[in-house]
Structure 1
Amino acid sequence: MTGFQNPAQLDRFIFWPPAINRGEYWRLISHGFVHADGQHLLFNMITLFFFGRVIEQAFAGYIGPLGYAAFYIAAILVAILPSYFQHRNDARYRSLGASGAVSAVLFAYILIAPWSTIYVFFFPVPAIVYGGLFTAYGLYASRLGHDHINHSAHLWGAGFGVLFTLCLEPRLGPVFLERLMQPGAGF
């Protein structure tokens, strides 16, 4: 779904606290399936295309393909809950997009392959460096709050991706730390 193609659809599915307070709880999930514009949708889908396949495969032995879908939907919910609690009485606040869930997928990938290369606007960056920069920028931009981007959802989604992955395979924590000490190891 894309909200930029159908404004009425956007109004029905966007995260909007007053509607949730009235019992429209589906908005806690549905906001992850509408996007502001083509660029927003494209960026999320490209990220999901490259990293989602790897994570779906990594999770398949533990929870299967339906489990991966459940992980993704849970990430949409977990990523938006802090925004709901912060803005539950703010009728002006709205949020949309799958970025929280996409961040969960991306950070699960970073946990598994910290030294793999991620291309950011065609520039190669080690995944762990990108993760650190992404987190630092998210914290900084979240404090400013001037860009109409829900950085909180990005950060909570990223944290959920890491935590979920560690709960799924606790041995990955020490493996991640070991991999951090081997920068040339790649994926």
Structure 2
Amino acid sequence: MLQKVIVVDENNKKVSLKEKNAVHIDGDLHRAFSIFVFNQGGELLLQQRSLEKYHSAGLWTNSCCSHPLLDGAGSEEAESRLRDEMGFSCELKKVTRIKYNLRLKCGMIEHESNDIYQGVYDGEVLINPEEACDYKWVNFSEVLDDLSRNPQTYTEWFKYLLLETPLGSALSASITVQSAQRDG
């Protein structure tokens, strides 16, 4: 069965359901979520997308990203997807929602109303090989630096979210506060 995603209007109100591939070909605005998981040391968990993915295969990206299947499911669905892709769950807090319209090298379009979640986790990671082929924990400032130096190794949405929106600064500030609370 083909997976469907939630097509929305500019106010994030559901318009219809549409097959995932068709949405990415036609460029319809649709719901998505992106998860950024940090460890207590302030390192961000990155995943390398499976080489079998229909777009952006083999590229590094945020901890987990997907499309909600249920209207209004929120963090529960994001936590479930994180468990499916990376083999663990943690409490996720919604940080913001960011809309973007990005053309991928393969010609597909990521036109998303993307809910951004952040979590903290220090345990074992067990990647689902259908979703990711590798993972690593990286110092957040090093991630930001490498995004600028080696953009070809990262997904378009990951680069956009961290380099062209206030999200990168907000996550950096949150890590600083978390570190101060831990150390203080």
**Shorter-normalised TM range:** 0.3 to 0.5
TM-score by length of 2: 0.37
The structure with more strand, counted as a fraction of residues: 2
Which one has a bigger Cα radius of gyration? 1
Q: Provide the TM-score with structure 1 as the length reference.
A: 0.36
Q: Which has the higher helix share?
A: 1
